[in-house]
Homo-oligomer: A and B are copies of this chain.
Amino acid sequence: MPGNSFGQLFRVTTAGESHGPGNVCIIDGVPPGLELSEADLTPDLARRRPGQSKITTQRDEPDHPQILSGVFEGKTTGTSIAILIENQDQRSRDYGDIQHKYRPGHADYTFDAKYGRRDYRGGGRSSARETTVRVAAGAIAKKLLAQAHGIQIVGFVTQVGDITANIPNPEQITLAQVESNIVRCPDPVAATKMIELIEKMRSERDSIGGIAQIVTTNVPPGLGEPVFDKLKADLGKAMFSLPAVLGVEYGNGFGCATLRGTENNDLFATDSNGNVITTTNRHGGMLGGISSGQPITLRCAVKPTSSLPQDQQTVTTEGEPTTIATKGRHDPCLLPRFIPMAEAMMAIVLADHMLRQRAQRGTF
Q: Give A305 Cβ to nearest chain B Cβ, in Å.
A: 6
Q: Taking the complex as formed, is A132 at the interface, i.e. its CB lies under 8 A from any CB of chain B? A: no
Q: Give A330 Cβ to nearest chain B Cβ, in Å.
A: 9
Contact of A70 with B301 in the complex, beta carbons under 8 Å: no
Task: Report chain B residues within 8 Å CB of A265.
Answer: 104-105, 306, 308, 312
Which residue from chain B places its CB closest to the CB of A320 in the assembled complex? B270
Contact of A2 with B13 in the complex, beta carbons under 8 Å: no
Which residue from chain B places its CB closest to the CB of A11 in the assembled complex? B1
A81 CB contact (under 8 Å) in B15, B69, B72 = B15
Given A79-B4, A292-B109, A361-B32, CB of A304 within 8 Å of CB of B259: yes
Q: Taking the complex as formed, is A179 at the interface, i.e. its CB lies under 8 A from any CB of chain B? A: no
Contact of B80 with A2 in the complex, beta carbons under 8 Å: yes
Q: Taking the complex as formed, is A236 at the interface, i.e. its CB lies under 8 A from any CB of chain B? A: yes
What's the Cα separation between A321 and B274 when bound, in Å? 11
Given A268-B314, A313-B267, CB of A161 within 8 Å of CB of B258: yes
What would 6 more interface pairs be, CB under 8 Å, given A2-B360, A276-B319?
A: A4-B79, A69-B125, A113-B293, A209-B258, A243-B288, A265-B308
Q: Taking the complex as formed, is A358 at the interface, i.e. its CB lies under 8 A from any CB of chain B? A: yes
Chain A residues touching B, range: 35 or more
**Number of copies of this chain that the complex holds:** 4
Contact of A246 with B80 in the complex, beta carbons under 8 Å: no
Given A79-B125, A256-B246, A358-B362, CB of A114 within 8 Å of CB of B15: no
Which residue from chain B places its CB closest to the CB of A117 in the assembled complex? B32
Q: Which of A265-303 contact B (CB under 8 A)?
A: 265-270, 274, 276, 278-279, 283-284, 286-293, 301-303
* Per-residue B-contact encoding for A326-354, CB less than 8 Å = 1, 0 else: 00000000000000000000000000000
Which residue from chain B places its CB closest to the CB of A335 in the assembled complex? B257
Task: Report chain B residues within 8 Å CB of A160.
Answer: 257
Q: Taking the complex as formed, is A357 at the interface, i.e. its CB lies under 8 A from any CB of chain B? A: yes
Contact of A68 with B24 in the complex, beta carbons under 8 Å: yes
Q: Taking the complex as formed, is A29 at the interface, i.e. its CB lies under 8 A from any CB of chain B? A: yes
* Per-residue B-contact encoding for A106-149, CB less than 8 Å = 1, 0 else: 11011101111111010011100010000000000000000000
